[in-house]
Structure 1
Amino acid sequence: MLIARSIALFLLAALLEIGGAWLVWQGVREHRGWAWIGAGVIALGAYGFVATLQPDAHFGRILAAYGGVFVAGSLAWGVVADGYRPDRYDLLGALVCLAGVAVIMYAPRAR
């Protein structure tokens, strides 16, 4: 159950961080205005909070593992929101990152 919770929190964190950054990007680079920027800033702040809910107590481990989720999530966001088409090296890199997440977060450890 802890692994499922951890994965769900990583996915929510990715949605908030990547979505927040995308909203800021849209507000600034695509001239959509302050409402988009403000929504992005709120989402980015919520991401910071969600990251603290991970069951593991080690900040460095959580953020290191989340980096892999961020890489894969960013590519997925680009596909859905911007029509980006990742090539096989993008996909391979994302899989390597997700394998790293699994090793960092879910490898058996002596307690």
Structure 2
Amino acid sequence: MKTVVVYAGAAVAEIAGCFAFWAWLRLGKPVWWLFPGLLSLVLFAYLLTLVETDAAGRAYAAYGGIYIVASLAWLWTIESIRPDRWDVAGAGLCLVGAAVILWGPRG
């Protein structure tokens, strides 16, 4: 359960940080938007270090599925664009892949 919470927090932090840059560059927001965006990205990187796994690459790979689902949630809640069935199906596949990567039996 801790892993899922950490991944969810990391996803929100990463998306918020990247969106701050997007808003500055593409939406004409003031340059000061970059400062909280950078802090958010630092928080994202820190949170990924809390995942209980023996390899950073495995933690990052499994995180990808959570990031995709969180990105679609952002799309819907912040940008007011509802994900379509293909978005949902793709996100579901990614979550299955993330679970296999993170919790698959290792010998």
Aligned position for 2:70: 73
Q: What residue is the counterpart of 2:79 in the other structure?
A: 82
- The alignment's TM-score, normalised by the length of structure 2, stands at 0.93
| Within-5 A mapping of 1:1-111 | 4-110=1-107
Once the two structures are superposed, residues 34-83 of structure 1 have per-residue CA deviations (whole angstroms, 9 ceiling, x without a partner) of 22111111101111111111111211110111111111111111101001
Question: For residues 92 and 17 of structure 2, what CA distance do their matches in structure 1 show?
Answer: 24
Aligned Cα root-mean-square deviation (Å): 1.1
User: Post-superposition, which runs of at least 4 consecutive aligned residues in structure 1 deviate over 6 A?
Assistant: none
Q: Which runs of 5+ in 2 are unaligned?
A: none
How many residues are paired up?
107
Structure 1 residues without counterparts, runs of 5 or longer: none
2:106 is paired with a residue whose SS is: coil
